[in-house]
Amino acid sequence: MTNASIKMFDYRAELGAIRPRVLAAVERVLDSGSLILGPEVAAFESEMAEWLGGGIGVGVANGTDAIVVALWALGIGPGDEVITVANTAVPTASAIVISGATPVFAEIDPETGLMDIERAAELVGPKTRAIIPVHLYGNAVDVPRLRELLGSREVFVIEDCAQAQGASLRGASIGTLGHAATFSFYPTKNLGAYGDGGLCLTKDAELAEAMRRVRRYGFTERDFAGGRGLNSRLDELHAAILRVKLEGLAAQVARRQELAAIYDAELPASVERLQTTPGCQHARHLYTVRVEDRDAVAGKLARAGIESGVHYRYPLHKMPAFAHARLPATGLPHTERHAAHIMSLPLHPSLTDDQVRQVCRAISS
């Protein structure tokens, strides 16, 4: 964090309002005698699933692991391909690599910056076992349409919902649209823990059981690993705190939407807004725009005491970690142009209307 007066993220303002309930939750756990996979995790899993509109939640240690757990629970690994985008956070693709599968990067829709679902469906080949659409920035990929495009092909759709808690598409919450979904509770997320946390969600009871096995060393019975596994558990302490924060999530997302509407209306025309997927209630995790000269705009903001960010500067197919990924024959020109021009402006529920107007004025000046 810098000394800027308008920050990209500041958990302390929100904590001020909920501190007594957070401390009470911590004391409850410490007094309970149960620290791992106890009643708080079970309660959070079902409360979060209910908040999302259905399914079974499986708490895990972070959003990266959530993807690995979902892939392994689906039996995906070496020799398989998993399609995603190169315009996402590194961990989406890291998780594919950790699983043993090979990432395949589909082109993005230049209007939204999200997976172009038609291009993604075209990339399906004999080795494709799953597609991971990423609901980036809090905007939703049209997963129902993607599933229509896939038709009867046996390809699992795993929604990466790390950035989209609170988003919906035509009335259905993200996370309920594919075969499985994964969430991150990294502190900056719309629902953020005070540390790491994650969740898998699925409506398939057998798949949920497989996820529970994978998160706990692959145990099919006590001290017996019947399959691939890791140690990836959500702690009781984090679950208890997340239960407190979940109560305020709808209001927090609504506040993000109000602030984003001010940006939409008041940023100058030189700032290119990204489109929202038709029918999507955008969760406004990040307010990301495209500008011609990003460094100049970021410099102007910094001089005015305003932070900014880039999500993300380097497309994944340019990174050595993913040099073995399969790409479309045409390459990823939209992804590369997007990465060269995007920047994210401060957006979190504790900002005032006036602070957002200050950012708009600083860019216009």
Q: Which DSSP string do the residues of 254-319 spell out, in sequence order?
A: HHHHHHHHHHHHHS-TTSEEPPPPTTEE---S-EEEE-S-HHHHHHHHHHTTB--B-TTSS-GGGS
d(CA 305, CA 215): 43
Give whichever of 92 and 99 is closer to ligand PLP, judged by the CB atom: 92
Give whichever of 89 and 181 is closer to ligand PLP, judged by the CB atom: 89
DSSP label of 349: T
- In 3D space, the residue among 139, 135, 141 whose CA is nearest the CA of residue 117 turns out to be 141
Rounded to the nearest whole angstrom, what is the least distance from the CB of residue 185 to ligand PLP in the complex?
7
Q: How buried is 195 (Cβ within 10 angstroms: 0-12 exposed, 13-18 middle, 19+ buried)?
A: middle
Q: Determine if the peptide bond prior to 217 is cis (ω within 30°).
A: no
Give whichever of 238 and 362 is closer to ligand PLP, judged by the CB atom: 238
Give whichever of 63 and 346 is closer to ligand PLP, judged by the CB atom: 63
Is residue 74 a contact partner of residue 156, using CB atoms and an 8 Å limit? yes
53-112: which residues touch ligand PLP (CB under 6 A)? 62-64, 88-89, 91-92
Rounded to the nearest whole angstrom, what is the least distance from the CB of residue 329 to ligand PLP in the complex?
26
> By rule CB under 6 A, what count of residues binds ligand PLP?
15
Give whichever of 90 and 302 is closer to ligand PLP, judged by the CB atom: 90
Q: Sketch the per residue contact string, 253 through 292, with ligand PLP: x for CB under 6 A, - otherwise.
A: ----------------------------------------
- From 184, 276, 308, 335, residue interacting with ligand PLP (rule: CB under 6 A): 184
One-letter identity of residue 200: C
Q: Compute the half-sphere exposure of residue 267: CA atoms within 13 Å on the CB side of its CA.
A: 23
144-152, 157-165, 199-207, 298-306 -> range binding ligand PLP (CB under 6 A): 157-165
Q: Degrees (nearest 5) of the Cα angle 121, 286, 117?
A: 5
Q: Sketch the per residue contact string, 127 through 156, with ligand PLP: x for CB under 6 A, - otherwise.
A: -------x----------------------
Rounded to the nearest whole angstrom, what is the least distance from the CB of residue 186 to ligand PLP in the complex?
4
- From 80, 107, 159, 160, residue interacting with ligand PLP (rule: CB under 6 A): 160
DSSP label of 249: H
Q: Which residue's C-beta sits nearest to ligand PLP?
A: 63
Quote the strand ranges of 90-155, DSSP E: 102-106, 128-131
Rounded to the nearest whole angstrom, what is the least distance from the CB of residue 256 to ligand PLP in the complex?
16
Residue 186 binds ligand PLP (CB under 6 A): yes
Rounded to the nearest whole angstrom, what is the least distance from the CB of residue 133 to ligand PLP in the complex?
11
Rounded to the nearest whole angstrom, what is the least distance from the CB of residue 231 to ligand PLP in the complex?
15
Q: How buried is 327 (Cβ within 10 angstroms: 0-12 exposed, 13-18 middle, 19+ buried)?
A: middle
d(CA 31, CA 57): 25
99-107, 158-166, 219-227, 295-303 -> range binding ligand PLP (CB under 6 A): 158-166
Rounded to the nearest whole angstrom, what is the least distance from the CB of residue 66 to ligand PLP in the complex?
7
Please name the residues in contact with 222: beta carbons below 8 A apart, sequence gap of 6 or more: none
Is residue 16 a contact partner of residue 195, using CB atoms and an 8 Å limit? no
Give whichever of 260 and 267 is closer to ligand PLP, judged by the CB atom: 260
Is residue 182 a contact partner of residue 200, using CB atoms and an 8 Å limit? yes
Residue 105's SS3 state is strand
Is residue 76 a contact partner of residue 95, using CB atoms and an 8 Å limit? no
Rounded to the nearest whole angstrom, what is the least distance from the CB of residue 353 to ligand PLP in the complex?
27
Give whichever of 193 and 362 is closer to ligand PLP, judged by the CB atom: 193
Q: Interface residues with ligand PLP (CB under 6 A)? A: 62-64, 88-89, 91-92, 134, 160, 162-163, 184, 186, 196, 198
